[in-house]
Amino acid sequence: MDIPQDILNKFMVRKDYLDWINKETAIFAYLDLTNMFHWQNVLGWKFRIEDVVGQLFTFPNIKEIKIYYGKNERDLKNSEAFHNRIKKTGAILRTKSMKFIIKDIDEGLFFQRHTITLFDGSVKNKIQELINELQKSGIIIEEPKCNFDVEMTMDMLDDTEKLTAVMLFSGDSDLKEPLERLKVKNKKIGVVGVRNIVAGELHNIKDKYIDFGKFYTGKRVYIKSENPALGGTA
């Protein structure tokens, strides 16, 4: 038997989260979906975007939900299918084509410059041997990139007069500036994230932090551990 979402909210979501949401009259939610997908490795499970949006819409004072996610022109069929899933939820989808950035195969591919200085000579030699092998292989490493900081900023500022609070599903420090603008106009800031992936700048400006793992009540697909003792593969 499916349990109604409002019941799940009442008994599964922390009371202080519910109190913060319910006291606002017009909340707009902004979901940086690429950022959210990174949360799954920390949580140890995958969420369904349909369940995230469905849960948010059970709160009558959450008036609008905007989701930001790129379009993969190299896998257009699957990309558009996923976009259609988002649109069917009633959320507003903001999208644009992903770019694929070719990465240089060097030390910077694996480590920050400061980290390299911590290694002794033998470790550095082994790293260089790996780099040499990769370079000889002719492999091309590309990183997909589709940043929505500008689009999210413009939307939040355009929506300012319609909202009393925002729920930002992102840990990106680049969103500090539009949130500061909203604070000046006495708008409340809710930041939704997971441990160690929310920038300190966002913690400093928030009115309420909501741990996504303690808020989401939807279906979870657990990520198998690589440890055989935990049911993973050897």
Q: Where are the domains of the chain?
A: 5-98+146-224, 104-140
**Token digits of residue 228:** 């055989």
Domain 5-98+146-224, CATH homologous superfamily name and number: 5'-nuclease (3.40.50.1010)
* pTM, two decimal places: 0.83
Among residues 18, 52, 40, which one has the least CA distance to residue 218?
Answer: 52
Q: Which helix (H) or strand (E) holds 211?
A: strand 208-211
- Per-residue CA distances from 199 to 32, 195, 212 (Å): 14, 10, 15
* φ/ψ (deg, to 5) at 172: -80, 120
- Give the CA dihedral 68, 103, 45, 171, nearest 10 degrees: -50
Burial of 30 (0-12, 13-18, 19+ CB in 10 A): buried
- Distance, in Å, from the CA atom of 8 to the CA atom of 65, rounded to the nearest integer, reads 20
- Residue 44 has phi, psi (to 5 degrees) of 85, 10
Task: Give CA–CA dist 142/103, Å, rounded.
Answer: 6
Distance between CA atoms of 179 and 85, rounded to whole angstroms? 29
Helix H or strand E segment including 142: strand 142-145
pLDDT in tens, the chain (234 residues): 688 998 999 899 999 999 999 999 999 999 999 999 999 999 999 999 999 999 999 999 999 999 999 999 999 999 999 999 999 999 999 999 988 788 788 887 788 777 888 888 888 888 888 888 888 888 888 877 888 999 999 999 999 999 999 999 999 999 999 999 999 999 999 999 998 889 999 999 999 999 999 999 999 999 875 544 444 443
